[in-house]
Structure 1
Amino acid sequence: MESIFKAALGAKKDIQNASFEQIFAILSDYSSEILDNCDAIITENAKDLAKMDKENPKYDRLLLNKERISSIASDVLKIAQSTFRCDKVLDEKTTSAGLEIKKIRTPLGIVGIIYESRPNVTADAISICIKTQNVCLLKGSDEADFSNAILVKIAKNILQKHGINTGCITLLPSSSDATLALITAQNIVDVCIPRGGKGLINFVRENAKVPVIETGAGVVHVYVDEGADVEIAKKTIANGKMRRVSVCNSVDCIVISHKMLDKIGEICKPMIEKNVEIFADSKAFAALSGFPNVKLASDEHFGTEFLSMKIAIKTTTSIEEAISHIEKFSSKHSEAIITQDEDRAAFFLKNVDAACVYHNTSTAFTDGGCFDMAAEIGISTQKLHARGPFALDELTTYKWIIKSDGATR
């Protein structure tokens, strides 16, 4: 690890001194090479898939096909084409003392990114870090070793072609020792970003000696208010749950007003038709009597990030009770209310503490690309520095540049 950290430090100035035009050329070429190497990427990905049970919720996250690889390349190109510049002047003024002061955007420096079986994160992280002129140390899981390795190899070849130190991108060994070395690399790593489940987040939080920005875990609720439109509830919950069940913005729990229980069967119909397993509290269970795949919920089903074709239902008697339930079990990722009552929606939006809070909208939109932010490292669930989609702006900081004609104080 010492040699890896040394190489990262050596590459730091190289990437930070690259021109806007160089960055554009590197990322444009990376996008093209991903497409040109589609078959090779699928071959390497198949090696990873062969190691995993198809019933594992992570299998879908790991899977790469031509459509997904095309999407990855498209995201890289969007980042390349972004007008984002790391040397942008954010603010400037001249003080009464004659100081010319500029606030200038700058890279964070060396960024460690820890993630699980999501090879698309590898390409996103590489692209975002190059665009923001950061060095990135990637720590993927052993489940995606082959997929990650080929995406990194392609990127390194592009960097070499453009005369940029390849040490600015490194895929670390997939061992837990490498994780620990990364999160304790004081005076080397400027920030570490873990993206994954509770186990990973907790390990990093408890052991890190470098600054950490948490992303990943999502226990997502949708509150169906007494003023809800049933069709809106039905389609947004179905989309939020089933679009991709293994992602962090997938719905885990429906919180429903007791006044809407007579509509719960209709709301859940698209999920029942797709064999989603429903864990309902006693009131919702009774209302769903006769429907297949409905089981009585236990305490463990609330606050669980399922990442699979499973969902819980909690019945409440007021919007305040609904918010209290969400507050107890939320990971502060994404929460939603379905209602036609603007006052009740406003109350919910104001009082629910989460990175993204929705009204009559699928939680599947919690994504940097959907927010027109090109791509993202993850969804930050904390409040300092970044919250919500962790994209280009969030991977930078700033410094103050002060000039004068010899001013003294």
Structure 2
Amino acid sequence: MTAETAVLRDDLVSEMNDLGRAARAAAAELAMAGPEQRNDALQAAAEALRDQSDKIIAANAVDMSAAEAKGLSAAMLDRLLLDSDRVEAMALGLEAIADFPDPLGRVLEERSRPNGLQIAKIAVPLGVIGIIYESRPNVTADAGGLCLKSGNAAILRGGSESANSSGAILECLQAGLRKAGLPEAALQRLPTTDRAAVGIMLTMSEDIDLIVPRGGRGLIERVQQESRIPVMAHLDGLCHTYIHGDADKEMATEIAVNAKMRRTGICGATETLLVDRSAVESHLPDVLKALVSAGCEIRGDETVQAMEIGTSVKEAVAQDWDTEYLDSIISVKVVDGLDDAVSHINQHGSHHTEAIVTEDQTAAQAFLNRVDAAIVMHNASTQYADGGEFGMGAEIGISTGKLHARGPVGADQLTSYKYLVRGRGQVRP
């Protein structure tokens, strides 16, 4: 490291520490604010998003142009794109969050002890949350809104490809904070897109209480390896749909196409289709033809490659079963019954979202019980893996871990708790 580089890093460390201290102070103020004030900030931020829609879309156009020049895939460009409908969706999301019951102060447990002590377990904010995410600028609104609702300050680090879009959205969130009389430092972003800032952020254990990474496996692994702060991981979405032998063919076809092709670039998109051997002749040709008709490339095992569907099927190699395509590609495998399907999913899945299509309720229940994932579905598209669809208004992401929160992470999941103990002069013997 040269002397000049060392000075630059020292300057960045100083700037990051200032940002962290400001967030910690803002978190203390947010924790004392009432629900009305926090909701006012959310409503004002939604209004600002609508007022600044043209500015946000113009900023997004700059990001889109740079992303196209870099050669990002169509699915990644779709994740990045903002238009008037998507800006309106962000505003509606903030309003939905504001309308939700206050997650703070909830009595989670309450008990009376024989000695007369009254003990209550109460929901409280986590404090300061560092959120690292890729591509999708709408996460700025969702994450900022959920943190504000739950009384947490947030330090945001979006992907460099969405820097202009996320910056314009953050300005609207901060405008909402100011209008409600809350500190602007409650929602901040890293001062640079330099990866070094992320490394510094992961060491700021005095000022940040939780790190939430949302993105690909490379990002998650880096954060888990380097962070000195607890991590709530949101791993990639290597999701499966399993067509059981007793599946309704029309339903299976419709679900498979929607689960893969509705939006290929989201984490809830199905990446691998498993088909029971007993359903190969009756179901598989129609399912594959429908996928191909929708513009999907098929990669299959030997049985799938031999199917007559009017186009060639590429060979699925070992890597395909472990690949999150985020594109119009699906790997298809024939399995020998429920046990084989569950084994494949538990070995190759990312513990995100898995689905079975069947009319056999016993098989469905066995699948729901045995698959190790945050979300397990029966007769529904994996694209429903979304906090908004779960009635949470929005989400920071889908937690694939097993501690603290699992599945869609909304405002309720961004709280901790403390015990309040009330006595009448008791002393312990």
Tell me the TM-score range normalised by the shorter chain: over 0.9
Task: Give identity over the alignment, percent.
Answer: 36
**Partner residue of 2:11?**
none
How far off its partner does 1:342 sit? Answer: 1.1
Alignment match, 2:240: 221
Correspondence for 2:188: 170
Whether the 8 Å CA contact 1:276–1:293 is kept in 2: the answer is: no
Matching residue's letter, 1:42: I
Distance 2:62 2:360 in 1: 51
CA distance in 1, matches of 2:354, 2:116: 49
Residue 399 of structure 2: aligned partner: 380
3-state SS in 2 of match to 1:361: coil
Identify the residue that residue 301 of structure 2 maps to in structure 1.
Answer: 281
Q: Which residue of 2 aligns with 1:88?
A: 106
Give the superposition deviation at 1:295: 1.0
3-state SS in 2 of match to 1:188: coil
2:224 equivalent among 191, 196, 205: 205
- Secondary structure of 1:215's counterpart equals coil
CA contact (8 A) 2:260 2:271 kept: yes
CA contact (8 A) 1:334 1:363 kept: yes
Contact 2:128 2:155 in 1 (8 A): yes
Q: Which amino acid aligns with 1:162?
A: A
Counterpart residue identity of residue 292, structure 1: T
2:66 corresponds to 1:66: no
Partner of 1:310: 329
Q: SS of the residue aligned with 2:19? A: helix
- Aligned pair 1:37/2:37, yes or no? no
Could you tell me whether the CA contact under 8 Å between 1:272 and 1:293 is conserved in 2? no
SS of corresponding position for 2:240: strand
TM-score for the superposition, normalised by structure 1: 0.97
Amino acid at match of 1:37: Q
CA distance in 1, matches of 2:112, 2:287: 59
Amino acid at match of 1:80: A
Cα displacement (A) at 1:93: 2.6
Q: Which one-letter code corresponds to 2:93 in the other structure?
A: D
| AA in 1 matched with 2:254 | K
RMSD after superposition: 1.2
Query: For residue 204 of structure 2, what is the aligned residue in structure 1?
Result: 185
Residue 248 of structure 1 aligns to which amino acid in structure 2? C
Measure the CA separation in 1 of the matches of 2:89 and 2:297: 30
SS at match of 1:313: strand
Q: How does 1:343-382 map to 2 (within 5 A)?
A: 343-382=362-401
**CA displacement at 1:290 relative to structure 2:** 4.7
Which residues of 2 match residues 49-60 of structure 1 at below 5 A? 49-53=64-68, 55-60=73-78
- Closer/same/farther in 2, CA of residues 221 and 21 from structure 1, 3 Å limit: same
2:33 and 2:224 map into 1 onto residues whose CA distance is 33
CA distance in 2, matches of 1:385, 1:122: 22
CA–CA separation in structure 1 for the residues paired with 2:217 and 2:235: 8
Instruction: Count matched residues.
Output: 408
Alignment partner, residue 7 of structure 2: none
Asked whether the 8 Å contact 2:45–2:174 carries over to 1, the reply is: no
Asked if 1 retains the 8 angstrom alpha-carbon contact of 2:355 and 2:378, the reply is yes
Unaligned runs of 5+ in 2: 1-15
Pairs within 5 Å for 1:199-278: 199-262=218-281, 263-278=283-298
Report the CA distance between 1:360 and its aligned residue: 0.9
Q: Distance in 2 between matches of 1:58 and 1:329?
A: 23
* Secondary structure of 2:66's aligned partner: coil
Q: Matches of 1:190 and 1:202 in 2, distance apart?
A: 19
1:115-136 residue CA offsets vs partner (Å, 9 max, x unmatched): 0011110000110001000010
Work out whether residues 192 and 212 of structure 1, in 8 Å CA contact, stay in contact via their aligned partners in 2.
yes
- Runs of 5+ unmatched residues, structure 1: none
For residue 119 of structure 2, what is the aligned residue in structure 1? 101
* 1:340 pairs with 2:359: yes
For 2:249 and 2:289, the matched residues in 1 are separated by: 11
Residue type of the partner of 1:161? K
Give the aligned partner of residue 135 of structure 1: 153
CA shift for structure 1 position 2:
1.2
Counterpart of 1:144 in structure 2 is 162
CA contact 1:20–1:85 (8 Å) conserved in 2: no
The answer as to 2:175 corresponding to 1:160 is no
Query: How far 1:57 sits from its partner (Å)?
Result: 2.8
Q: 2 CA distance for matches of 1:279 and 1:85?
A: 45
Structure 1 counterpart of 2:334, which letter?
T
Residue identity matched to 2:97: I
CA distance in 1: counterparts of 2:103 and 2:254, whole angstroms = 39
1:10 aligns with 25
| TM-score (ref. length: structure 2) | 0.93
Distance 1:177 1:343 in 2: 52
